[in-house]
Amino acid sequence: MVHATNDAIETRKLRVGMVGGGREAFIGAVHRLAMRLDDRIQLVAGALSSDPERARLSAADIGIAADRAYSSYQEMAKAEAARADGIEGVVIVTPNHMHAPVAAAFLDAGIDIICDKPLSATLQQAEDLARRAAKSGLVFAVTLNNTGYAMVREARAMVASGALGKIRIVRAEYIQDWLTLPIDADGQKQAEWRTDPARAGRSACLADIGVHAYSLAQFVTGQMPDAIAADLTTFVPGRRLDDNAHVLMRYASGARGVLIASQVSPGNYNRLSLKIYGEKAGLEWFAHEPEVLHFAAFGEPARTLTRGGPGVGQAAGSVSRMPAEHPEGYVEGFANLYRDAAALIAARRAGRTPDPALVAAVPNIHDGLAGMRFIEAAVDSHENGGAWTTIAA
């Protein structure tokens, strides 16, 4: 073995709390795994459920002291802000419609935010939140976690370096099959809230997974489309929101794109991918095989870049824990985001100007807002028969 693995180099860990993520939740536990990996963050408080008994039990499950197990996020924000050893950041992993009110409460309490995607259930919430966040000066990270994969970081650095030349074509996909049958009508909890307009917003499929594809493309290319045409479909009878989305995209630069999101494509569990073609070269990345990046300079043989392997640069190397082909995966990508977000929070609290590379690496409220504007424009386009629709800037 030849590679070094980074341990936490500071024993001082960031203290965080969590809102949402109690028993029966899915993504909260993923966040906890991710924040544990590098040992720089400790979870010390939580409002894991609005049901007091469930909040108490859920907190006990994961070692949160009873006096810091809240059933009200408002109470938690106040109490923690008042403690000398109070939380330094809050992780928000509720259903979409609660992101904005919870985040607002913690912004008001002066606590930095790490919020799950999509930023909110409505664009209005998102815009309001963006204003509040800007005013606050606090860190507002959005866990568009796929940007944390080492080879996604590498892809972005390659695009930025000009290795592809001017970008011409962007193709992003997120394909699943778990909503092929009407499980939302059958009481499956994860399906239920994600397809409920009151909790998910105007879109299910785009809000749940399409926004990941959108943000991945934006992160790697550094560009956002300014107009889209969207064809949203609800294939499963009785479903309240879209379960499939086909979107054409036009960029101000002249680039063109296609974004596809589907939750009804049998045989695909979580197939997120990004393909980018420029004047000089093409790049392809697949989240279910995240360790490799396919790069082809026009007129040269295709190359497979492997995390930890030869020819891979600092962008991937700096967030790499294992040697090549000791596969890293979803947790490591998520943990990279947590590590960087924690570093941003620590810098802000210390009054230090953070490394611009660090700032650029962490999706923030502007990225979250961009995702909401994309969803809004897509639903508008859809409701207008699939017409081309400008995305608000």
Please list every residue from 220 through 279 that binds a copy of itself, using CB under 8 A: 229, 231, 233, 235, 244, 246, 248, 250, 254, 256-258, 260, 262, 264-271, 275, 277-279
User: What does the alpha-carbon distance between residue 292 and residue 287 come to, in Å, rounded to a whole number?
Assistant: 9
Residue pair 95/200 in contact by the 8 Å Cβ criterion: yes
**Least CB distance to a copy of itself at residue 341 (A):** 18
Contacting a copy of itself within 100-159 (CB under 8 A): none
Among 14, 91, 281, 375, interactor with a copy of itself by CB under 8 A: 281
- What does the block give as tokens for 144? 């568009």
Pick the binder of a copy of itself from 52, 85, 124, 181 (CB under 8 A).
181
Task: Look up residue 118 and give its DSSP letter.
Answer: S
Per CB under 8 A, contacts with a copy of itself among 324-383 are 324-332
Q: Is the dihedral of CA 197, 201, 203, 209 positive or negative?
A: negative
C-beta of 83 vs 288, nearer to a copy of itself: 288
Compute the chain's Rg from CA coordinates. Answer: 20
**Residue 4 binding a copy of itself, by CB under 8 A:** yes
User: Nearest distance from residue 255's CB to a copy of itself, in Å?
Assistant: 9
Nearer to a copy of itself, 144 or 287 (CB): 287
Stretch that binds a copy of itself, among 67-75, 120-128, 135-143, 172-180 (CB under 8 A): 172-180
The least CB distance from residue 131 to a copy of itself, in Å, is: 30
Residue from 74, 180, 223, 318 touching a copy of itself (CB under 8 A): that is 180
With CB under 8 A as the contact rule, the residue among 214, 285, 295, 338 that binds a copy of itself is 295
For a copy of itself, give the closer residue by CB, 294 or 366: 294
282 near a copy of itself (CB under 8 A): yes
Q: Using the rule CB under 8 A, is 304 a contact of a copy of itself?
A: yes
State the Cα–Cα distance between residues 31 and 25, nearest whole angstrom. 11
Instruction: Kindly state the tokens that stand for 29.
Output: 């536990």
Give CA–CA dist 36/342, Å, rounded: 12
Q: Measured from the CB atom, is 109 or 217 closer to a copy of itself?
A: 217
Binding residue count for a copy of itself, defined by CB under 8 A: 106
Q: For the chain, how many residues are written? A: 393
Q: For residue 313, report the phi and psi dihedrals to the nearest 5 degrees.
A: -95, -165
Rounded to a whole number of angstroms, the minimum distance from the CB of residue 150 to a copy of itself is 12
Name residue 288's amino acid: H
C-beta closer to a copy of itself: residue 122 or 190: 190
Least Å from the CB of residue 258 to a copy of itself: 5
Note the maximum CA span of the chain.
Answer: 64
DSSP element (H, E) containing 203: none
Q: Which of 88, 131, 134, 89 is nearest to 114 (CA)?
A: 89
Q: Which member of 67, 75, 85, 289 binds a copy of itself (CB under 8 A)?
A: 289
> Which of these, 217, 285, 259, lies nearest to 378 by C-alpha position?
259
- Cβ nearer to a copy of itself, comparing 202 with 275: 275
CB atoms within 10 A of CB 269: 10
Q: Which stretch binds a copy of itself (CB under 8 A): 71-79, 102-110, 166-174, 353-361?
A: 166-174
| Cα–Cα distance, 292 to 274 (Å, whole number) | 12
Q: How far is the CB of 242 from a copy of itself (least distance, A)?
A: 11
Please give the C-alpha separations between residue 167 and each of 163, 243, 271, in angstroms, as whole numbers: 10, 30, 23
Q: Is 188 in the site for a copy of itself (CB under 8 A)?
A: yes
If we measure between CA atoms, which residue out of 285, 332, 252, 97 comes closest to residue 174? 285
CA distance 260 to 173: 5
Dist CA 380 CA 83 (whole Å) = 45
Residues 20-39 that bind a copy of itself (CB under 8 A): 24, 26-27, 29-30, 32-33, 36-37, 39
List the interface residues with a copy of itself, window 195-214 (CB under 8 A).
Answer: 208
State how far the Cα of 237 lies from the Cα of 292, in Å rounded to an integer.
Answer: 39
Among 126, 191, 224, 316, binds a copy of itself (CB under 8 A): 191
Q: Residue 51 or 134: which CB sits closer to a copy of itself?
A: 51
Helix (H, G, I), strand (E, B) or coil at 158: helix
Q: Which is nearer to a copy of itself, 60 or 198 (CB)?
A: 60
